[in-house]
Amino acid sequence: MKELEKVYNPQEFEDRIYDFWQKGRYFHSEPDDSRKPFTIVIPPPNVTGQLHMGHALDETLQDILIRYKRMQGFNALWIPGTDHAGIATQIKVEEVLRKEEGLTRYDLGREKFLERVWDWKKTYGDRIINQLKKLGSSCDWERERFTMDEGCSKAVKEVFVNLYEKGLIYKGNRIINWCPQCTTALSDAEVVYEEQPGHFWHIRYPVKNSDEFVTIATTRPETMLGDTAVAVHPDDARYAHLVGKTLILPLVGREIPVVADEYVDQDFGTGCVKITPCHDPNDFEVGKRHQLEEILIMDGNAVINANGGKYEGLDRYEARRQIVRDLEEGGYLVRVEEHTHNVGACYRCGCTVEPMASSQWFVRMKPLAEKAIRAVREGETRFVPDRFSKTYLNWMENVHDWCISRQLWWGHRIPAYYCDACGEMVIAKEEVHTCPKCGAAMRQEEDVLDTWFSSALWPFSTLGWPEDTPELRYYYPTSVLVTGYDIIFFWVARMIFSGLEQMGQVPFSHVLIHGLVRDSQGRKMSKSLGNGIDPLEVIREYGADALRFTLATGNAPGNDMRYYPERVESSRNFANKVWNAARFILMNLKEEDLSFSTAGLRPEDEWILTRYNDVVRDVTENLDKFEIGLALQKVYDFIWDLFCDWYIELVKPRLYAGGEESAMAQRVLLFVFSGALKMLHPFMPFITEEIWQALPTAEEACVTARFPVYDPALRFSESAGRMEHVMETIKAIRNRRAEMNVPHSRKASLYIETAHPEWFEGAALFYQKLAGAEQVLINSKIPEGTVQLVCDGASLYIPFAELIDLESELRRLNKELEKARGELARVEGKLKNQGFISKAPAALVEAENAKKEKFLALIAELTASIEKMEGRR
Partner RNA sequence: GGAGGCAUAGCUCAGCUGGUUAGAGUACUUGCUUGACAUGCAAGGGGUCACUGGUUCAAUUCCAGUUGUCUCCACCA
Residues 338-357 that bind RNA (CB under 7 A): 341-342
- Binding of residue 581 to RNA (CB under 7 A): yes
- Binding of residue 576 to RNA (CB under 7 A): yes
CB of 565 vs RNA, minimal distance in Å: 10
- Cα within 13 Å of Cα(390), Cβ side: 3
- Binding of residue 572 to RNA (CB under 7 A): yes
Window contacting RNA (CB under 7 A); options: 24-32, 238-246, 327-335, 740-748: 740-748
Q: What is the DSSP letter of 684?
A: S
CB of 644 vs RNA, minimal distance in Å: 4
Which amino acid is it at 841?
P
Adjacency order of strands within the sheet including 442-444: 425-427, 416-419, 442-444
- Binding of residue 722 to RNA (CB under 7 A): no
| Burial per residue of 43-70, b for 16 or more beta-carbon CB atoms within 10 angstroms, e otherwise | bbbbbbbbbbbbbbbbbbbbbbbbbbbb
**Distance between CA atoms of residues 650 and 39, nearest Å:** 43
Element (H, E) at 767: helix 764-770
User: Which residues from 99-118 bind RNA, rule CB under 7 A?
Assistant: none
Burial label, 35 (beta-carbon count in 10 A; 0-12, 13-18, 19+):
middle
- Binding of residue 202 to RNA (CB under 7 A): no
**Distance between CA atoms of residues 348 and 719, nearest Å:** 63
- Binding of residue 270 to RNA (CB under 7 A): yes
- Binding of residue 8 to RNA (CB under 7 A): yes
Of 121 and 830, nearer to RNA (C-beta) is: 830
SS3 call for 301: coil
Contact 292, 229 (CB under 8 A): yes
CB of 455 vs RNA, minimal distance in Å: 17
**Distance between CA atoms of residues 48 and 123, nearest Å:** 9
- Binding of residue 280 to RNA (CB under 7 A): yes
Contact 187, 403 (CB under 8 A): yes
User: Which residues from 519-538 bind RNA, rule CB under 7 A?
Assistant: 522
- Binding of residue 285 to RNA (CB under 7 A): no
Residue 230's beta-bridge partner residues?
258, 274
Of 148 and 517, nearer to RNA (C-beta) is: 517
Contact 493, 392 (CB under 8 A): yes
User: Which residues from 841-860 bind RNA, rule CB under 7 A?
Assistant: 841, 844, 851
Among 1, 2, 5, 7, binds RNA (CB under 7 A): 7
Burial label, 416 (beta-carbon count in 10 A; 0-12, 13-18, 19+):
buried
The residue count of the chain comes to 873
- Binding of residue 556 to RNA (CB under 7 A): yes
Among 132, 159, 189, 798, binds RNA (CB under 7 A): 189
Window contacting RNA (CB under 7 A); options: 145-153, 438-446, 530-538, 830-838: 830-838
Neighbours of 599 (CB within 10 A): 6
User: Which residues from 361-390 bind RNA, rule CB under 7 A?
Assistant: 387, 390
CB of 634 vs RNA, minimal distance in Å: 10
CB of 678 vs RNA, minimal distance in Å: 18
User: Which residues from 207-236 bind RNA, rule CB under 7 A?
Assistant: 217-220
Reduced 3-state DSSP string for 27-65? CCCCCCCCCCEEEEECCCCCCCCCCCHHHHHHHHHHHHH
User: Which residues from 634-663 bind RNA, rule CB under 7 A?
Assistant: 637, 640, 644-645, 648-649, 652, 656
Window contacting RNA (CB under 7 A); options: 76-84, 118-126, 563-571, 717-725: 563-571
Of 477 and 515, nearer to RNA (C-beta) is: 515
Of 331 and 835, nearer to RNA (C-beta) is: 835
Contacts of 430 (CB under 8 A, 6+ apart): none
Of 80 and 271, nearer to RNA (C-beta) is: 271
- Per-residue binding string, RNA, 397-416, x by CB under 7 A, is -x------------------
**Distance between CA atoms of residues 672 and 495, nearest Å:** 43
Of 316 and 567, nearer to RNA (C-beta) is: 567
Of 139 and 586, nearer to RNA (C-beta) is: 586
- Binding of residue 839 to RNA (CB under 7 A): yes
Window contacting RNA (CB under 7 A); options: 245-253, 310-318, 323-331, 565-573: 565-573
Among 562, 602, 715, 852, binds RNA (CB under 7 A): 562
Contact 578, 48 (CB under 8 A): no
Among 424, 554, 856, 859, binds RNA (CB under 7 A): 554
Among 26, 141, 418, 584, binds RNA (CB under 7 A): 584
CA end-to-end span of the chain: 63
Q: What is the DSSP string of 783-841?
A: PSS-EEEEETTEEEEE--GGG--HHHHHHHHHHHHHHHHHHHHHHHHHHH-HHHHHHS-
- Per-residue binding string, RNA, 614-633, x by CB under 7 A, is -------xx--x-x-xx--x
